[in-house]
Structure 1
Amino acid sequence: MSGSSPYSHDLDKNDANFVALTPIQFLERAALVWPDRPAVVHGARRYTWKQTMERAKRLGSALSKRGIGPGDTVAVMAANTPELYEAHFGVPMTGAVINALNIRLDAEAIAFILDHGEAKFVITDREFSRTMKEALEKLGRDIPVIDIDDSEAGDVGDLIGEKTYEALLEEGEPDFAWRWPKDEWEAIALNYTSGTTGNPKGVVYHHRGAYLNAMSNVVTWSMPPHATYLWTLPMFHCNGWCFPWTLAIIGGTSVCLRKVTAKNIFDAIADEKVTHFCGAPIVMGFIVNAKDSDKREFDQKVNVMTAAAPPPASVLERMQREGFNVTHVYGLTETYGPATVCAWKEEWNDLPVEEQAARKSRQGVRYVVQEGLTVMDPETMQETPADGETIGEVMMRGNITMKGYLKNPKASQEAFAGGWFHTGDLGVMHDDGYIQLKDRSKDIIISGGENISSIEVEGVLHKHPAVNAAAVVAKPDDKWGETPLAYVELCEGQAVSAEDLIAFCREHLAHFKCPREVRFVELPKTSTGKIQKFVLRSMAKGGQAGA
C-alpha cells in the first residue's frame, strides 16, 4: 500500500516547497532582472520593465482603494495599448478577474457581457466611447468608468469616464503589496466566446493555466530572451493567447500596434526590429499582398504564429518564399488560445515548398502543457482510426483547458462530457499523430480571427419580412480566411435585393458578422425539412452562384 511507502511520510507540502502558480510573478521577475530593458513601446511612449511593474502596481493599488478585490470583474475595452498590457497584471494583482472586451462587438453584446460578468469597474478607450456609452445605458446600473486617452488614437471618440487612466494611476502606490493567489485554481481572466446559439458564453481561466500556457508559448516557439513582439493579435482575444505574460518571462519587448495594416507591420518590423508576431491568416494576407510602397527591407528573421481558420497553403508558401517562418497552431477560447502546434520535423525541409505548405496547414500535435489531444466519435467516445480519413470530433484535456463557462453549468457539463473537452470541431487523425480539421460541427465562421455564429446571423435574416428561410455558411477568403455567405429563400411573391439584406443585417449586428454576399436559392433540405448545410458549404467553396 502507498501508505507504507517512506515517501508518504513527513514530506508534505508547505510554504517553502509549494507555491500557487501565477503569471503575475513573471512581471516581478522581469522588473528585477531587466529593470532598464524596454518592455512596452507605443509610438513615442517607451516603458522599461521597472516602469511597467510600477504602473501595474499603481493600477492594482488604485483598484484596491476603490474596493476591487478577489472575485470581482474589471472590464477593459481597449486596443493594443500599454494600458491593456498593464491591466493583465494590475487587475489580477488585486485578486480580481480581467475581462478584456472584444472592441468589434456592438453595444447590445457589450451590455450583456458587462451584466453577465458582473463587472464592477470599466476602463475604456475613447475610440470606443460611443459603443460603451450605449452599452452602459442598456446595462441600467451605475459603474465606475475610466478613460484611456491614447494620443495614438487620433481625434476620435469622447471621454465618458470620471477621469483618465493616467489620473487613476496617480491614486495608486508604486510599492503596492499585490495579492498572490491563495489557490492557483482561482480565476484570472474572463473571455466571452460567441458560441452557436443565444448569448455569448463566459470562459473562465485560472492562474495555473495562464502560467502554463505562457510558459508553453516560449517552449513551443523556441522564443529567445528579449525577443521583440509585435501586437498584431488583439490582446482581447484569449488574452492575446497568453502572450502578455509570455513576454514578461523572456524580458521581451511588446511593440503595440493600434491599427493593423501592411504598412504599419512593415514599418514596425524595420524600425523596431520585430522578431515575432501572431495573427490570423488575414495578417499574413496583408503581408503577401502588400504594395511595394508599403514594404520595408529588414535583416532579422521574423517568426509568425498563425491560427484561426486553416491558412491557405498558397499563403503559407508565399510567406515562406518572402522569408517569414510560419508556425501553425490551433486552439479555442476554452483552451487559453493555442493548444496544438504543427510541430515541424527536419526531414520535411527536403520536401518541395508546396508539400511543406500542405504539412504546415495541419493543426498538429498537443502543446507541451496540454495532456491530451485526440479525435473521437462523440457518441461512443471511441477514438477514430489514425488514417487521415475517418472524421470525428477533436477533443482535448489538460491544464490549459478552461475552468468552465461562467454561470452556465449545463454548458460546462456538456463540454466536459466523458472527461474530455469537446471542441465541436470535426477533424481526422493522421498516421503520424497529427490532427487536421475538416469542418466545424457548430457552424462557426472564423473571419479575421473572430468567431461568427451562423445561427445568430440567420436569426437576423429571418426577421426580414421577405425572407422565408436562410442559411449562413463560411466562404473561403484569401484575405479574411473566411467570410459569411448567406443563402436565402424568399417568401412567395416577395422581392428584396442582396444589398438591402446586407444593410438590414448591419442595422442589427456588428458589421464584421454581416454577410459579405447573399445568394438567392431554393435551400436544399432533407425529407424532414432540415437544411443541408454541407451542400451549401460545397457550393460556397465551388463558387456556385445558385439560382
Structure 2
Amino acid sequence: MDNLPKYEANHTKLTPLTFLKRAAASYPNRTSVIHEGTWFTWSQTYDRCRRLAFSLRSLNIARNDVVSVLAPNIPAMYEMHFAVPMAGAVLNTINTRLDAKNIATILRHSEAKVFFVDYEYVNKAREALKMLVVQKGAEPNPKEQNYSTLPLVIVIDDINSPTGVRLGELEYEQMVQHGNPNYVPEEIQEEWSPIALNYTSGTTSEPKGVVYSHRGAYLSTLSLILGWEMGSEPVYLWTLPMFHCNGWTFTWGVAARGGTNVCIRNCAASDIYRSIALHNVTHMCCAPIVFNIILGAKPSERIVIRNSVNILTGGAPPPASLLEEIESLGFHVTHAYGLTEATGPALVCEWQQQWNRLPKQEQAQLKARQGVSVLTLADVDVKNLDTMESVPRDGKSMGEIVLKGSGIMMGYFKDKKATSEAFNNGWFRTGDVGVIHPDGYLEIKDRSKDVIISGGENISSVEVESVLYRHPRVLEAAVVAVPHPKWGESPCAFVSLKKDSSNDHVTEGDIIGFCRKNMPHFMVPKMVKFLEELPKTSTGKVQKFELRVQAKCFEVSENLQSKNNNKSSQLNQNNQHIIMAVSRL
C-alpha cells in the first residue's frame, strides 16, 4: 500500500487560488464585490484578477517577488489577494495607519518591486519613498539591506469617482484594462511556497515579516469558514481591514463560499448600518472597537436590524457587558483569538447549545473566553515552559499558550534566529499567558510579550518606550496596557525624569505631544504617570506587573473622579434652576 504512486489527478497542490476559479465556474453571475455604485460578478472578478496578473508579469515581476499595497477595503485590495499570487508573486498588505517611516522600513525590508497606493495615501507614500533613497556617503546599516532601487508605484484611483491623483504614470484600472483576460495563472510549483508577507511589530522596534504559505492559507481559510459555520452565499461586510492577516483569510474565504464582499472605505457607523440594511449583510469580522462605533451611532444613523448579523471578533477580550449590549441590537457574536503568526484566528469560542439555557450575563462571560482550536491546528496547549508540562485544567493555573498546526506561519522573513526561537520544542510559542478551563476552553490572562491591543491594532510597548527615551528629560520609561472604554486597551506610560537644573516643568501634555510627533497616533499613550523611580526586580528589570496594577487603579480613580464631576455639574445645574425659579417669584 505504501508504494502507490501520486498522480496529477489525485495529488493537487493546496492553494486558496482555487477558490476563485471555482467561484467563477460555479457562480459566474452571482455578485462578488460591491463598493458604493460598483458591482462585480464572480466571472468579472476572475477576469479582472487574470488581467492584473498578466500586467504584473509584463512588468517583469518574477516568482516570489514582493508586491506591496497601501489601501483601504476597496475592490482593488480584494482583487490583489488573488491577482498577485496568480502572477507568482507574494502579497504584502501594509497597515494604512502606519506613518511614513514605518512604511519605508517595510518597503526596504521586503524589497518590494511594486507598490500599489490608494489615492488617499499618496502623500504618505511619497514621504516614505523619499526615505528609501540611499544618500551618498551615508554609513551603511549592517542590520538593514541598502535598498537603492525604488519600487514601481501604481496609484489606485477611486473606481466610482476618479480623482486624477497620481504618483508616477501608472494607474490600477489601466493595468486591469490592458491585461489579458485569457492569462493562465502561474502554476504553484510547491504548496509550501509563500503567498503573503505580513508585518507585525512584535515585542521589539524591529518589524517582523511573517510569511504565509499557499498550503497554510488554504487550510486556515477552510477551518475558519467551517468553524464559524459560514454557509453558502454569505454577504460579508468588510469592517475588518484586509491588511490585518489578509482579512483573517476571509479575502479567500468569501470566494470559497460563493459569497458577496461589501467593501466600505471607512468604518463609520452610518456606513455599517446602511450597508447591513441595503445588502442584507450576514457576516462581518471586527475588533471590539467596532462595537463601540455601532453602539455610539446617532439615532439618525441607526437602522433596525431585521436579520441576525454574525460577528467574529478578536483582539482584547471584550467586556461581558459590551457583548450583551451589542447582541441586543441583533448581532450574534463569536469570540476568537489569534495572532499574525497563526494566519489570524487560531482559537474560536465555539458555542454549545446547552449554554442557551444560561442567563445572558453568564452567556456573555462564556463568549469572552478565547475558546478551542480551529480545525487547522493539530494541537493547542498551555504549558509551563520550564518543564514543558501542561498546566492543570482548572481555569486558574497559568502558563504560555502554544500552538501546532498547518496554519502557523512558514517563519519570519530574513530572521532565522527569531524563527528558531518561536518554534521551540515542537511548538509555536505565542508569548501569551493563559489558563485552560475544565471544559477545555482557553482564556488569556496576560500577554508576556507586552503587546497592547488597541482598537484591533498591535502596539509594541518596547517601540513606544524607545520613543519616550528620546525625550531629552526622560530618564526611565515603561509602557503597559490599561483598559480603555473605547479602544479596548490603550498604552499607559510611566516615566521618571532626569534631574535638571533648569527646573523646566514637564507635563503629561508635553510627553504626549512629543509622542504624537514621533510615532503613529494610534500608538501614542493616552495616559502618562510620573514616578520618582520605576519599580524594579533585584536584577534591575522593571516590574511591569506592578505598573499594570497601578495603571488600573489610576483608571478607576479617574472614572470615579469623572462621575463625581458629572454629579457636581448636575447639582450645580439643579441649583441654578432653583435660583432662577426663586428670582421669578
Structure-1-length-normalised TM-score = 0.96
Could you tell me which of 489, 500, 512 is aligned with 1:502?
512
Shift of 1:153: 8.4
Q: Which residue of 2 aligns with 1:515?
A: 525
Q: Distance in 2 between matches of 1:376 and 1:95?
A: 39
Q: Which residue of 1 aligns with 2:419?
A: 412
The alignment status of 1:150 with 2:150, answered yes or no, reads no
* 8 Å contact kept, 1:78–1:125: yes
Could you tell me which of 367, 386, 398 is aligned with 2:393?
386
Q: Which residue of 1 aligns with 2:100?
A: 107
Q: Distance in 1 between matches of 2:292 and 2:375?
A: 29
Shift of 1:542: 2.6
Could you tell me which of 79, 85, 88 is aligned with 1:86?
79
Summarize deviations over 1:504-536 as a string: whole Å, max 9, x none. Answer: 111110111111121222322223332211111
1:270-419 correspondence to structure 2 within 5 Å: 270-419=277-426
* 8 Å contact kept, 1:185–1:206: yes
Q: Which residue of 2 aligns with 1:171?
A: 178
CA RMSD of aligned residues (A): 1.5
| Partner secondary structure for residue 116 of structure 2 | strand
Shift of 1:69: 2.4
* 8 Å contact kept, 1:384–1:392: yes
1:461-480 correspondence to structure 2 within 5 Å: 461-480=468-487
The alignment status of 1:249 with 2:243, answered yes or no, reads no
Q: Distance in 2 between matches of 1:491 and 1:374?
A: 45
* 8 Å contact kept, 2:305–2:329: no
The alignment status of 1:529 with 2:540, answered yes or no, reads yes
User: Number of paired residues?
Assistant: 538
Q: Higher mean Cα deviation, 378-387 or 520-529?
A: 520-529
Q: Which residue of 2 aligns with 1:4?
A: none
Summarize deviations over 1:399-442 as a string: whole Å, max 9, x none. Answer: 10000000100000000010100001000111111110000001
Q: Which residue of 1 aligns with 2:554?
A: 543
Q: Higher mean Cα deviation, 534-543 or 455-464?
A: 534-543
| Partner secondary structure for residue 212 of structure 1 | helix
The alignment status of 1:12 with 2:5, answered yes or no, reads yes
Q: Distance in 2 between matches of 1:25 and 1:310?
A: 34
Summarize deviations over 1:301-360 as a string: whole Å, max 9, x none. Answer: 100000011111111111222221000011100001011101111111111111111111
Summarize deviations over 1:49-108 as a string: whole Å, max 9, x none. Answer: 011001100110000111112111000111000001000000000111000111111111
Shift of 1:180: 2.4
Q: Distance in 2 between matches of 1:112 and 1:427?
A: 33
Q: Which residue of 1 aligns with 2:62?
A: 69
1:194-205 correspondence to structure 2 within 5 Å: 194-205=201-212
Q: Which residue of 2 aligns with 1:221?
A: 228
* 8 Å contact kept, 2:398–2:435: yes
Q: Distance in 1 between matches of 2:266 and 2:177?
A: 28
- Taking structure 1 as reference, are residues 515 and 317 closer, same or farther at Cα in structure 2, changes over 3 Å only? same
Give the partner amino acid of 1:260.
Answer: C
| Partner secondary structure for residue 425 of structure 2 | helix
Could you tell me which of 228, 243, 248 is aligned with 1:236?
243
Structure 1 vs Structure 2: percent identity of aligned residues?
51
The alignment status of 1:54 with 2:58, answered yes or no, reads no
Give the partner amino acid of 1:170.
Answer: Q
Shift of 1:154: 9.0
* 8 Å contact kept, 2:288–2:455: yes
* 8 Å contact kept, 1:144–1:162: no
Q: Which residue of 2 aligns with 1:136?
A: 129
Q: Higher mean Cα deviation, 56-65 or 521-530?
A: 521-530
Q: Distance in 1 between matches of 2:539 and 2:293?
A: 44
Q: Which residue of 2 aligns with 1:3?
A: none
Give the partner amino acid of 2:125.
Answer: M
Q: Distance in 1 between matches of 2:262 and 2:307?
A: 16
- Segments of structure 2 that go 5 or more residues without pairing to the other structure are 134-148, 559-585
Q: Distance in 1 between matches of 2:79 and 2:30?
A: 16
- Taking structure 1 as reference, are residues 154 and 527 closer, same or farther at Cα in structure 2, changes over 3 Å only? farther
| Partner secondary structure for residue 300 of structure 2 | helix
- Taking structure 1 as reference, are residues 475 and 177 closer, same or farther at Cα in structure 2, changes over 3 Å only? same
Q: Which residue of 2 aligns with 1:37?
A: 30
Q: Which residue of 2 aligns with 1:161?
A: 168
Q: Distance in 1 between matches of 2:249 and 2:23?
A: 16
Q: Distance in 1 between matches of 2:94 and 2:160?
A: 20
Give the partner amino acid of 1:95.
Answer: G
1:401-480 correspondence to structure 2 within 5 Å: 401-480=408-487
Give the partner amino acid of 1:532.
Answer: Q
Q: Distance in 2 between matches of 1:380 and 1:136?
A: 48
Give the partner amino acid of 2:538.
Answer: S
Shift of 1:492: 2.3
| Partner secondary structure for residue 432 of structure 2 | strand
Shift of 1:471: 1.1
Give the partner amino acid of 2:153.
Answer: V
Q: Distance in 1 between matches of 2:18 and 2:284?
A: 23
| Partner secondary structure for residue 245 of structure 1 | helix
Give the partner amino acid of 1:145.
Answer: V
* 8 Å contact kept, 2:67–2:113: yes
Q: Which residue of 1 aligns with 2:118?
A: 125
Q: Distance in 1 between matches of 2:512 and 2:186?
A: 49
Larger Rg: 2
